[in-house]
Amino acid sequence: MSGIIEAKLSELGITLPEAAAPAANYVPFVKTGNQLFISGQIPMNADGIQFQGKLGDTMQTAQGADAAKLCAINLIAQMKAATGDLDKVARVVKLVGFVNSTGDFSEQPAVINGASNFMVEVFGDKGRHARSAVSAASLPFGVAVEIEAIVELS
């Protein structure tokens, strides 16, 4: 039987992917005490890496927000892998979003809103979080967005 959060994902038409394996020498998440630190997730789905490009050049803000939402879906997949039960998420504490963008692009917050809005949509008030939205000259595999998270567990 699925829990409240999984039922909400189902209602939204979201099927969580398998949590992605690390692409280098790191682990996908670390649990310590009641905190879960999730390594940066990129916009990837069953068809592979999505949303490659640079905001302010080859991509528009709305596409970047879609990429950020896909990163958030992958963050939630890691939460599920770490806990076995998404109802154990007491709070999304912080998101750190990196946006592959040109030097004059200044809409990083609007891009990362794609992830922030989705976290609130899924977790309600428990999804409201502190956040950083930072420009990057490039990101792994040429993706537009990468997001990491800190989560409190019950």
Q: Which domains does the chain have, with CATH numbers?
A: 29-153 (3.30.1330.40)
Question: Could you give the CA distance from residue 90 to residue 46 in angstroms, rounded to a whole number?
Answer: 28
Question: Could you give the CA distance from residue 81 to residue 86 in angstroms, rounded to a whole number?
Answer: 9
Question: Could you give the CA distance from residue 71 to residue 81 in angstroms, rounded to a whole number?
Answer: 15
pLDDT band at 2 (very low <50, low <70, confident <90, very high): confident
pLDDT digits (tens, 9 = 90+) for 94-116: 999 999 999 999 999 999 999 99
Average pLDDT over residues 126-132: 98
Query: Beta partners for 49?
Result: 44
The answer to whether residue 65 scores a pLDDT higher than 70 is yes
- Say what the pTM is: 0.97
Residues found in the chain = 154
